[in-house]
Structures are given as C-alpha cells and as structure tokens.
C-alpha cells in the first residue's frame, strides 16, 4: 500500500516527515516542496512541518517535579502511618455497620464475573460498530441524544419546572435541525471515525498507557490526601499553622496537576503513534511504536505536557474560585455566569488537546504548538468544531447507552437489579477509556491531514482521496497555507 521505504526505530516523527517529503518530491508534487522550502521557517527557526529535537519547557518539568517532591517530602515528616491505620479502621467500621449496602456476596461475585467479560465484549463491539457503520452511528447517536433531551423536558414539565423544561425541549429540537444543516460533514467525520476505530484495534497498547499511568497516580493521590489530612490536623494543634496549610494547599494543587499530566501524557503518546502511522503507513510502522512515542512523551516532551497541564489546572482553579463568589441573588444570572465560566474552561481544554497533538507531531515547545493551533483555527476552525461535535456526541452517547443496555440485559436475565448495576459500572469504565483513545486518534488524524495532506496521499492514497472528496474546504485551505508565513 505504502510507497515509503521502511523505517527503523526512531526517536521522533522527523524521519517519517523527511521520507514523505522525499516521496512527494519524487512525484514532482509542488505543494510539499513549496511548504518546506528553506525560506519557510517557523517561530523557532526550523523548517515548517519539521519537528525539533531536544528537551522543551524544562522549567515546567522542574516545577512539576518540585511540587510533587514537596508533597512527598512533607508527607515523610508527618505521621502518615497513623493516618493510614485510622483510615483503614474507619473503613472497616463502616463495612461492619453497613456492609455493602445490602449487596450479597453471591451477587457481588456474579456481577463481577459477568461484568468483566461484558466490558471487553462491549468495547470490542463498539470499535467494530464504529468501523463498519460510522455514519449510522453518528446519526443514531444524535437522534438518541435528542430523544433523551425531549424525555427529560417532559419530566421537567410534569414536575412543574417550566424553565428547565423549555430549555431542554428547545435543545432536543435543535439537535436534529443542526444535524440536517451539517449533513455534508457527516461523511468526513465518518471516515475519520472508522479509521480511528481501525487503528485502535491494530495498536491495542494505546489502551494500556492510560491504565499504566492511572495506577501510580491513584497511589500518589491517596498519599496527597493523607498528607492534606495530617497537615490540617497538625496545623490545629501547633504553632506552624501557615506552614501546614501551605503544604496542604500544595498537595491539593499537585493532585489536580498530576491528573492533568496523566491525561496529557496519554494524549501525547496517542498522537505520536498516530503521526508515525500517518506518515509511514501500516506496512512500514517501526517496532514498538507505542513505547517509542511514550518514551518521547516522558522525556523531551514532558516539559510541554507539564506546561499545558499547569495551564489547565490554573484555569480550572480560577473557574472554581470565581464560582464560589457568584452570589448575585438572581438564580438566572448566577447560572448564566457559571455557564460562561464552564464554557471558558471547556474551550481552553479543547484547544489544549490540539496543542498536545502539535507537541507530539513536531516535538516543539508548548507555546509554539499553541501558536500553530491558533493558525489551525484560523484556517479550518469550523471544520474542526463540526467534526468534534459529530464525533464526540457519538462517542458520549455510546459511552452511556451501551453500559445501560448491558446492565439492563443482565438484570433481566438474572432477575437482579444489583447484578445489573455492577455490570453497568464495570462496563462503563473500560468503555470510557477505549472511546477516549478513539477521540484522541480522530483529532490527531485531523491535525495531520490539515497540515500535511501529502503525507496521507503517500501512505494511504485511498483514505486521502476519501477525505478530500468529503471535505470540500480543505483544498482551498491547503492552497492558502502555501502562501502563509508561519506564526
């Protein structure tokens, strides 16, 4: 399939880009040659589309390590052993008094035994469905979401909550109308969704990276919470009041920062694998591409991930603090302000996810990647928003509906709502992880295609033709980018 010569294990995506440039020049294609002329340099002085090697944003890396180190080091000076023993004793007393909420041991074991295989089957069927019928999945998910909104509106009217009922009814009716007006975008999003589902099946190790990062994060979170509790107790009974509270706040901040770092590492790892696949093709993928991408994420790109995660944490904290101060006395005004704050936080996180793709694809610093995202928004921002709206609605509806269907089916079969609930919970966790990887793959392919469509033409000509045929705006965008100077 691919006309690219096989490549060996490499430390960045640079080899694939250079090979694609060679192939395009051999084809006498002017677009790639013009886009990568020596005179076309980006903000860091490197040729456009060529990634930079070396460590980036090291100050953010050291700041993150310092914050985590402060929490760990301060915890070693506190009686953490007493906190652990007291916590375990409290959990034991709670279980002795209330048990498992009336859940029988047999129901628990049966639910776990059925839920684990159900989770694997649901995840695999979801990927197969998205690969085989992506357009149908997009349309059905939109109408299903609209139906849920209309039913919720009916419930609100029944309970005499008129403003909520009207809002939900309007949203429920707008979704099918919106789908009608963007129907020309469905085919493009369906191609990306099917390709992402296929790629995630070909590289299942992408699912293990989030799980591998989650385990140490959970351990660190438990340690930080114990440090926080011990610091608060210690601050109440000695003179080091401010010292203990400062370290307590540091432990809280480090938890959220570490959580965003875990998400960022997963996203950068996935985007790096997708970029390698995009330029090299399936037949020429190097050995262990996931591990190679993960190594770059935790070394040269780790500072950029820490920088982006720090900004996400600060924006989230700012929104939370502002939310505490909303007390105008008018519920409508308070709700509107809270909605605007949530939209701002979501918009920042949305742009940050694209910046992570640029970090993985080019190996540049975070600010340079953010400037490239801004240029991407200027050129094809509407295409990205429409694509994400269609894809994310589909994935979110599947994340909720499939576990519910599995839980209801098991509950009817076993005549036990408890077993059905256990199966539903065990199904939704891995399914969320799988579909979040699919979402990251879709965005990564979109960015690669928006910046270097010739790379896909060299590695997957059929997919390139399908995407160009279903997205009518990309031809003009790429022609314009040839004359644009980098940000």
The pLDDT tens digits for 16-29 are: 444 444 434 433 33
Lowest-confidence pick of 76-85, 280-289, 386-395: 76-85
Average pLDDT for residues 184-193, to the nearest whole number?
Answer: 92
| Enclosing H/E stretch for 184 | none
Which residue's entry shows tokens 């007390």?
A: 327
Given a cut of 70, whether residue 253 has pLDDT beyond it is yes
Of residues 486 and 72, more confidence is placed in 72
**Closest CA relative to residue 204, chosen from 463, 441, 362, 455:** 441
Distance (Å, whole) CA 137 – CA 383: 19
- Provide φ and ψ at 462, rounded to 5°: -65, -45
Instruction: Please report the pLDDT score of residue 394 as a whole number.
Output: 94
Pick the more confident residue, 321 or 433.
Answer: 433
pLDDT at 237: 64
Q: Closest Cα to residue 427, out of 110, 14, 1, 121?
A: 121
Mean pLDDT of the chain: 79
Which is more confidently placed, 436 or 230?
A: 436
Rounded average pLDDT over 333-350: 83
Q: Per-residue pLDDT tens for 292-318? A: 899 999 999 999 999 999 999 999 888
pLDDT at 239: 56
Query: Could you give the angle at which helices 134-158 and 366-414 cross, rounded to 10 degrees?
Result: 70
Does residue 380 register a pLDDT over 70?
Answer: yes
Averaged pLDDT, 93-111: 64
What is the predicted pLDDT for the residue at 111? 80
| pLDDT above 70: percentage of residues in the chain | 77
Find out whether 141 and 397 touch, Cβ atoms under 8 Å. yes
Across residues 46-53, what is the average pLDDT?
Answer: 45
pLDDT digits (tens, 9 = 90+) for 397-435: 999 999 999 889 888 888 888 888 888 988 998 899 999
| pLDDT at site 113 | 84
| pLDDT number for residue 86 | 64
């Amino acid at each position: 399939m691919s006309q690219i010569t096989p490549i060996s294990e490499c430390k960045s995506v640079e080899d694939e880009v250079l090979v694609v440039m060679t192939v395009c020049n051999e084809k006498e294609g002017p677009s790639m040659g013009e886009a990568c002329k020596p005179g076309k340099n980006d903000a860091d002085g490197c040729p456009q589309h060529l990634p930079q090697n070396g460590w980036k944003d090291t100050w953010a890396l050291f700041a993150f390590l310092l914050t985590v180190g402060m929490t760990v080091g301060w915890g070693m000076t506190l009686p953490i052993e007493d906190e652990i023993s007291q916590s375990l004793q409290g959990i034991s007393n709670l279980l002795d008094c209330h048990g498992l909420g009336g859940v029988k041991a047999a129901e628990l074991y049966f639910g776990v035994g059925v839920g684990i295989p159900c989770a694997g089957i649901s995840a695999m069927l979801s990927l197969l469905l998205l690969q085989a019928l992506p357009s149908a999945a997009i349309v059905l998910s939109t109408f299903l979401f609209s139906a849920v909104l209309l039913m919720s509106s009916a419930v609100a009217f029944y309970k005499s909550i008129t403003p909520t009922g009207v809002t939900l009814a309007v949203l429920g009716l707008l979704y099918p109308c919106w789908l009608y007006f963007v129907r020309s975008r469905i085919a493009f999003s369906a191609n990306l969704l099917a390709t992402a589902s296929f790629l995630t099946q070909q590289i299942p190790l992408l699912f293990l990276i989030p799980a591998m990062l989650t385990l140490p994060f959970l351990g660190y979170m438990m340690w930080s919470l114990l440090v926080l509790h011990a610091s608060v107790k210690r601050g109440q009974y000695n003179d080091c009041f401010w010292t203990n509270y400062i370290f307590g706040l540091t432990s809280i901040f480090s938890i959220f920062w570490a959580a965003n770092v875990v998400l960022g590492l997963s996203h950068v790892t996935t985007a790096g694998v997708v970029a390698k696949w995009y330029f090299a093709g399936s037949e020429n993928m190097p050995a262990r591409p996931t591990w190679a991408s993960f190594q770059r994420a935790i070394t040269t790109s780790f500072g950029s991930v820490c920088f982006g995660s720090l900004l996400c944490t600060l924006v989230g904290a700012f929104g939370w603090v502002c939310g505490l101060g909303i007390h105008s006395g008018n519920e409508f005004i308070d709700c509107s302000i809270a909605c605007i704050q949530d939209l701002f936080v979501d918009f920042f996180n949305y742009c940050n996810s694209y910046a992570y793709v640029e970090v993985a694809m080019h190996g540049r610093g975070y600010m340079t990647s953010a400037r490239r995202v801004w240029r991407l928004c200027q050129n094809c921002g509407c295409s990205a928003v429409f694509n994400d709206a269609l894809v994310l609605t589909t994935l979110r509806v599947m994340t909720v509906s499939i576990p519910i269907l599995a839980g209801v089916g098991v509950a009817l079969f076993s005549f036990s709502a408890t077993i059905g609930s256990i199966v539903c919970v065990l199904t939704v966790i891995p399914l969320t992880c799988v579909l979040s990887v699919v979402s990251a793959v879709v965005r990564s392919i979109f960015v690669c295609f928006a910046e270097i469509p010739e790379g896909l033409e060299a590695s997957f000509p059929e997919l390139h033709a399908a995407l160009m045929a279903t997205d009518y705006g990309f031809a003009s965008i790429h022609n314009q980018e040839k004359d644009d100077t980098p940000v």
